[in-house]
Structure formats: C-alpha cells, structure tokens
Structure 1
Amino acid sequence: MTGRVVVIVGASSGIGLAAAMAFAARDDDLVLVSRGAEALKAAEVVCRAAGSSEVDVLVEDIGDPAAAARVVAWTLGRHGRVDVVVHTATVMGYGAVEAVPAEVFTAVVDTAVHGTVHLAQAFLPVMRRQRAGAFIGVNSLLGSVTVPQMGAYTAAKWGQRAVLRTLQQETRDEPGVHVCVVSPGSVNTPIYHQAANYTGRLARPPWPALSPDRVGEAIARLADRPRRHLSIPVGPANPLVIAGFRLLPLVYDRLVGPLFRFAGLTRDPAEPTTGNVHQPIPALERAHGRRPNPAAGR
C-alpha cells in the first residue's frame, strides 16, 4: 500500500522518526509534526532520501489543545484526506512521585493522555466522514505495569491506554476506521537521555532494548493491515513482565525496584533536570539513542 497520507506526531526523534522512515520507504505522503523545527527539517531530508516524494513538516506542540485542529486543517487543505495518524509524541520523567515537581508530572501525563484526546477529537471525525482510516497510538509496556521511580510516565501510559481502548470501543460502529495500539518494551531511543530526571543517576534503556527501526516497521505494517486487537506488543520481554505483574504481584514488587536500579540507571551521577519535558533539546533528537551529555537540558 503506497500513496497514503500519513500524519506522524512526534516525528523528529525516536520511534516517530523511525516510523516516518518506514512509511517513506512505502512512498507514502508524510506530514511530520513535532515541537522542534530544526529536527523536523532533518527528518524531512531523511524521509525524502528513504523514498517519500511528499514530505511536509509542521511545528506544533500537541499538548496545545488547538494544535491538533491546526494540523488536521492544514493536512486536509494540502491533501484533501488523511489515511493514517500515528501518535508517538511522549516525554519521560524519572523520580519518585514525591520528588518529581508537579508541573513536570503534569506535562508528562498531558503529552500522552491529552495529546491523544486532542488528536482523536480532530482526526476521527474526518476518518468517519471518509469511512476509512487508521489511528495508531504508541503506548508502552509501562501502560500495563508499574515501576518505581517512573510514576509520571506510567501514569501517562496507563491513562493513554485507557483513552485508546475506549476509542477502540467507540469506533466499532465504523468498520473502516481502526484505532490501533502499539506497545513496545525498552527501545534504544534518545527519550531516556532527554528525560526529566530526579533520581540522582543518569538513565539508560533497560536490556533488552529494541531498535527503533523494528518498532517503526511494526507501526507501518499495522497501518498496512489494521487490527482491532487490544494492543500489539513489540518486544520479547513484554509478556513475561506483564504476567509477573498480574499473577505474582508480591514477587514482582520485591524484584522490580532492584532490577530497575540495575538495568534502568547508570552509576553516573546526574543533577536534577527537566530534560525536554517543557521544550525540545535539538542536539539529542535522532532515531537511535546514545550516551547523553550530562549537562544537556539542566
């Protein structure tokens, strides 16, 4: 399937950029949305090189309630339709619930939960009128389990998952409109290095970390053949972790804290930082993660 109009929110970095390249390889027309103009221009160049002849970029913050309406109006004015919407935009905050500043906690939740709501309210009516379309929300393994020191992110992903599941139920009356959920585990993207952090230690993606290219390709395949499953997992460890959380809660709670400190945090000290929660960090926006600059985003 080629020639679709695909809107990707959060397209300048990580999974969003990887998904954009996967759709570009299918010669789809892309509308790339993100907060960072500089990184979006770089994403445009990469996607054209990957095969897409039509790539447009829009600088918008999906946390703004009016942003989604501007994106849908621009897309319809330019292309006349929208076939796929992918919401990958997310920000992360590390730290105990008691330690994360309220405005940081709220912003992390808003990006995932209200960002999904804003996009759904703007794009699903269009898909209903078309009687066709795929709305894909990128959730997380942490939308099904909880992890200490990641309360803001887990709250965001549990809330987002609830919204997406409700949307799946509410669109059952329109067979051509699909609301899909992709739930990857640990992915080697810059989000860990850009996150707000109040743990005192630098963060890293826990092992085994997937390549963002694998998740991006999974998203594109799902758009090729949309499915109304509860959620499409990406990552070998997801079923085991979820089973432990649900079936062996006492064992899970005993192990999850030490395992997170071992696998999710380095030994390197880190000063408190808001990371990219309130504004992007252009130097760290790319598809794949790397060792962070400890001074970035303080």
Structure 2
Amino acid sequence: MSTNPTTVLITGAASGIGEATARRLARQGHTVLLGARRTARLAAITDELRAAGARAAYRELDVTSLDSVRAFTTAAVEEYGRVDVLVNNAGVMSLSLLADLRVDEWEQMIDVNLRGVLHGIAAALPVMRRQGAGHIVNVSSVSGHQVDPTAAVYSATKFAVAALSEGLRQESRDVRVTVVSPGFTQSELTERGGSEEARAAAHAASQLLAIPASAIADAIAFAIDRPADVDVNELVVRPTAQG
C-alpha cells in the first residue's frame, strides 16, 4: 500500500503502459481514473480492479480534444475532490521514412503525442495550482533522446514532450514534473501505422528485446511515491540488451 494514497488520472489506459500503471497504482491503494477511447476495454479493466478491492473508474477520453480532456479532469474533481497526479501516457508511433510523405500519420502523432500532452497540462494544471500541489508525469520515449531512421516525426514529438516537461518544471514550485522515457516495451505501439517494412522491423526488435509494461509502471510508481518535496524529473528505462 502507498503511504500517500492519491487520485491518479491515466490517459491511454486501455492497454500497454497505461493499463499496467493503472493496475500497479490501484494495487498500491491509489484511486485511479482510466481514460481512453476503447471504453469496453476500460470497463473490463476497471471491473477487475474493483473486484480486487481497488477504487477505480473510467471515462471515454480523446486526448486530441481539449474539451474531452477537460471533461475527464472535471469528472475526477467532481467524484474525488481533487487531481493529485496526471499520467500523460496516450501515444501513437507510426514509423516511416520522411520521403514516404505519410502526412496524415505525421499529423496524428503530433495530435496525440504532443497536443495530447498539452491538453492534459491545460486541464490539470489549474486544478493542481488551486490545490497547491500536484504531479504531472509525461511518458516520452528513448526516441526523445535519439533519432533513428523512420522515427523522425515520432522522435520530434517526444523531444517536444521533454522540452515541455522541462519548461513546466522550471515554472513550477508546487507541481512536480516527471518525464519517463521507455525503451523497447511490450505494447501495441508497433502493431499499427507506418510503413509495412518499418513496422515489421520495430515489431521484430520489440519481440526480441522488450521488457514488460509493468517495468515502466514501476518507474512511474517510484516517482509518484517520493515525498512531496522530492521531484524525480527524469527516468529512462531500457531493456538491458538495448543498445
């Protein structure tokens, strides 16, 4: 059990890192509100958590819509009275060469990976400022530290998440800010979008190297559970075998 139970909002909670984080934090005694577009999947996860004695709820969420993200945050305030932690986890990864000109996929990555994080900040930060405390956890990627062929736009969005997080950290005294950058992790990221060749290569590498999503959930839990005067700003979590 956590020594400091909190109300935690998690975007992209229907699978992968978001789902693993919801399960990890609920098991520790935190209240979790799960958000994603796949409500049937959210309902199933929430039912499992409640059956195990956790305090959990879900709400349909589209992070590309500021109204949707604000409604998600407002629901937490109305139900639980506060928002202690926001985990900006929703993301997409469509890998392809820039010369392929998959512009629609570029725009989707910008909308979800970058604008979605901004929407989360816009919705949660005023609440946290009024409370005089809060914690925003932004899930980035090792691709926010290095650029690989076929990942230029994805990396650009993740570099931007790191920049936003550092700017918010410098502006904040009451709100903690953490960036978590996973390496190859078991998730659905490599299963859709991008060129067939790039997707197959990423999937093969993930199959060979990927660590479980629970490893990233553990890192997020570690940052959240530090004392209020300790702000863990950045965590990079890779498979040991990843170069």
TM-score in terms of structure 2 length:
0.90
Partner of 2:183: 185
1:214 aligns with 2:215: yes
2:42 corresponds to which letter in structure 1? L
Number of the residue aligned with 1:20: 22
> Matches of 1:35 and 1:67 in 2, distance apart?
11
Could you tell me which runs of 5 or more consecutive residues in structure 2 were left unpaired when the two chains were aligned: none
Change (3 A) 1:51 1:210: farther
Q: What code does the residue aligned with 2:187 have?
A: T
- In structure 1, how many angstroms separate the alpha carbons of the residues matched to 2:114 and 2:27? 30
Deviation at 1:49, TM superposition (A): 4.2
Identity of aligned residues (%): 30
The answer (yes or no) to whether the contact 1:168–1:179 under 8 Å persists in 2 is yes
CA shift in 2, pair 1:32/1:177, >3 Å:
same
Structure 2: how far apart are the matches of 1:19 and 1:233? Answer: 16
Superposition deviation, residue 2 in structure 1: 4.9
Number of residue pairs the alignment of both structures matches: 235
Partner of 1:198 in structure 2?
195
Q: d(CA) in 2 for partners of 1:27 and 1:229?
A: 21
Note if contact 2:97-2:149 (Cα within 8 Å) is conserved in structure 1.
yes
1:228 matched to 2:231? The reply is yes
Q: Aligned partners of 2:52, 2:99: CA distance in 1, in Å?
A: 45
Deviation track 1:54-74 (CA, whole Å, cap 9, x = no partner) reads 211110100112122111211
Kindly state the Cα deviation for residue 45 of structure 1 after the two structures are TM-superposed: 2.3
Q: Which 5+ residue runs of structure 1 have no aligned equivalent?
A: 242-298
Partner letter of residue 67 of structure 1? Answer: S
| Structure with greater helix percent | 2
Opposite residue 231 of structure 2, the aligned amino acid is R
Change (3 A) 1:99 1:51: farther
Aligned 8 A contact 1:149 1:199 in 2: no
* Counterpart-to-counterpart distance in 1, 2:213 and 2:48: 15
User: SS at the partner of 2:66?
Assistant: coil
Displacement of 1:228 in angstroms is 3.4
- The one-character-per-residue Cα deviations of 1:90-123 (angstroms, maximum 9, x if unpaired) are 0110110121421111111221111111111111
CA distance in 2, matches of 1:170, 1:112: 22
Partner-residue secondary structure (3-state), 1:232? strand
Cα 1:151–1:46 shift into 2, 3 Å = farther
Distance 1:20 1:217 in 2: 11
Structure with larger Rg: 1
- Separation in 2, partners of 1:2, 1:56: 19
Q: In angstroms, what is the RMSD of aligned CA positions? A: 1.9
Residue 7 of structure 1 is matched in structure 2 by 9
